[in-house]
Structure 1
Amino acid sequence: MAEDGAVMVYNSSAITDAKKNPFSIKVGMAQMLRGGAILEVTAVEQAKLAEDAGACAIVVSEPESRRRGGGISRMPDPSLIKEIKGSISIPVITRSRVGHFVEAQILEAINVDYIDESEALALADEENFINKHNFRAPFVCGCRNLGEALRRVREGAAMVRTQGELSGSGNVAGTVRSVRSVMGEIRVLNNMDEDEVFSFSKKISAPYDLVAQTKQMGRLPVVQFAAGGIVTPADAALMMQLGCDGVFVDSEIFNSPDPYKRVRGIVQAVRHYNDPHVLVETSCGLADAMAGLSLSEDRIEQFEHGGD
């Protein structure tokens, strides 16, 4: 099986502790989320709604009022995380700053199910990412190309979040570009002669063994989700048809008269992404529900000038 191949790379080379979960377990835990939608939430009520609508997991984020206050964005308040975790039964993912291994230690101590080392927060370390092999919890990391994805996997990421624009503008174009970049590089790799793989791995600054494994599997060696600008069932189905294993949905989706209908529509679109009849059904009647998620002219201009 392809999943078994992803595990074997680390059987002899992973930096692990006997008290920590081996990488194979982390990869298996992340694969349990495959084919699902992960919702960003900022309150207990949103978490319960996401669970009721069929989300496979939730990401706890700071309340919007705190994020608008400016300053440094950090991991959410542990009391909020514990309150949300105690109110639902689906897995809880929580963000830490890039390179901030102490935030990750705190999150692991309160038993979050997954840790997202997220660029959506302020950077704690501009040069180094967390050594994720030192933790029991599986990590999620972002990427925009194949080399970046495989570097995060080498550091211990059990799930890759292929991302685009992260400011919540509802523009999916950056995410499409990143997903197509990863998938395109994998297709190029698949058509290479074995002797060319060494040069290719050097070109994209990725570990050779993981590049070779990606070529053998024809996909990334870990679960790949898409994130950024996904606000409609059609957006979610697009990511799935491009080859992703699931989607992350921003908390802005709750800013509507009927957030349950919107979340449920995206969940159904992820599950039935190749069924146009289901996609028609999930997309009907969402015009009012999408109010507030249209791109403003200033946001479009910002995106076109590299805003993601």
Structure 2
Amino acid sequence: MEEDGGALTLYNSTVITDPKQNPFSIKVGLAQMLSGGAILKVSSQNQAKIAEEAGACCLVITEPNPRGISRMPDPALIKQIKRVVSIPIMARSRVGHFVEAQILERVEVEYIDESEVLALADEDNFINKHNFRCSFVCGCKNPGEASVMSEIRILNNMDEDEVFAFSKKIAAPYDLVAQTKQMGRLPVVHFATGGIVTPADAALMMQLGCDGIFLGSEVFDNCSDPYNRVRAIVEAVRHYNDPHVLVDNSCGLVQELAELNVSED
């Protein structure tokens, strides 16, 4: 076990400290480096450079015009983007497709997003993360995948017997559920994604307890100055509790955001 900042981290398996691979604590540290930042989805070198200059903490590389079954991005595109930026790179693999993950690790991405946004390669089994040096990002849709926000508040009021029953109900390891209760939050960084297009959207997610946000590539669409749009959202993530900064970064974006509004027709 390891104590860090008053929170007790439980490690109960020798596989996570295999000297042939990155120890679990290193992977956790790499993920925590993204805390308080904005991760941007990009599909070209130009978008990648704009995102880095605007203050993105990490880039998710996606195909420019995906068609048919969604798979991992072209490794050649990953290499091209890595040549022009210095911030960490993330790329998606299909759920359960450990060979796609092997390829992504070989081209030296820092993070792999085992994403249900892509087509599923295995409907029952996720990739065994302990076989990789990379840190992984996974989405969650219900308490069984990750106890989030309101469920954590409920968990905080449970006694020990209730915690054990709750862990069985959501099919999660008891140690992790107990650790979540002790910390009052998930023991990993928690990012929000989907529909975040304004500084106010980003600040809302942060004030609700997220550690950062994913920003879709639509922020580059139909925009005369994507740098200013991205920069405003990045600043809102960094200063989400400062109303003066939020006002400044929300000014002058009406025209830039007009194309992102949902049509009333």
Give TM-score, length-normalised by structure 2: 0.94
Which amino acid in structure 1 is aligned with residue 104 of structure 2?
Answer: L
Q: CA deviation at 1:2?
A: 5.2
Residue aligning to 1:50: 51
**Cα RMSD between the aligned structures?**
1.6
Within a 5 Å distance, the mapping from 1:1-308 to structure 2 comes to 5=7, 8-10=9-11, 12-15=13-16, 17-63=18-64, 65=65, 67=66, 70-149=67-146, 182-255=148-221, 256-296=223-263
Moved more, 140-149 or 275-284: 140-149
Q: Is the 8 A contact 1:16 1:134 kept in 2?
A: no
Q: CA deviation at 1:3?
A: 6.2
Q: How many residues align?
A: 262
Q: CA deviation at 1:74?
A: 0.6
Q: d(CA) in 2 for partners of 1:2 and 1:37?
A: 24
Which amino acid in structure 1 is aligned with residue 122 of structure 2?
Answer: D
Q: Is the 8 A contact 2:16 2:24 kept in 1?
A: no
Change (3 A) 1:144 1:13: farther
Residue aligning to 1:306: none
Where 2:150 maps in the other structure, the secondary structure is helix
Change (3 A) 1:127 1:4: farther
Q: Is the 8 A contact 1:16 1:133 kept in 2?
A: no
Q: CA deviation at 1:122?
A: 0.9
Q: Is the 8 A contact 1:38 1:59 kept in 2?
A: yes
Change (3 A) 1:23 1:5: farther
1:119-141 CA deviation, whole Å, 9 max, x = no partner?
11111111111011110000000
Q: d(CA) in 2 for partners of 1:227 and 1:17?
A: 32
1:81-111 CA deviation, whole Å, 9 max, x = no partner?
0110111010001111111000000000011
1:254-280 CA deviation, whole Å, 9 max, x = no partner?
011111111000100000000011101
Q: d(CA) in 1 for partners of 2:4 and 2:184?
A: 9
Which amino acid in structure 1 is aligned with residue 183 of structure 2?
Answer: M
Q: CA deviation at 1:5?
A: 4.4
Q: d(CA) in 1 for partners of 2:94 and 2:258?
A: 31
Change (3 A) 1:283 1:115: same
1:2-21 CA deviation, whole Å, 9 max, x = no partner?
56746x42253545542210
Which amino acid in structure 2 is aligned with residue 30 of structure 1?
Answer: A
Give TM-score, length-normalised by structure 1: 0.81
Q: d(CA) in 1 for partners of 2:208 and 2:146?
A: 17
Where 1:148 maps in the other structure, the secondary structure is coil
Q: d(CA) in 2 for partners of 1:244 and 1:145?
A: 16
Q: d(CA) in 2 for partners of 1:207 and 1:225?
A: 21
Q: Is the 8 A contact 2:16 2:23 kept in 1?
A: no
Q: d(CA) in 1 for partners of 2:80 and 2:207?
A: 36
User: Unaligned stretches of 5+ in structure 2?
Assistant: none
Q: d(CA) in 1 for partners of 2:88 and 2:194?
A: 20
Q: d(CA) in 1 for partners of 2:28 and 2:108?
A: 18
Q: d(CA) in 1 for partners of 2:177 and 2:12?
A: 17
Identity across the alignment (%)? 73
Where 2:19 maps in the other structure, the secondary structure is coil
User: Unaligned stretches of 5+ in structure 1?
Assistant: 151-181, 299-308
Q: d(CA) in 2 for partners of 1:234 and 1:216?
A: 31
Q: d(CA) in 2 for partners of 1:288 and 1:190?
A: 44
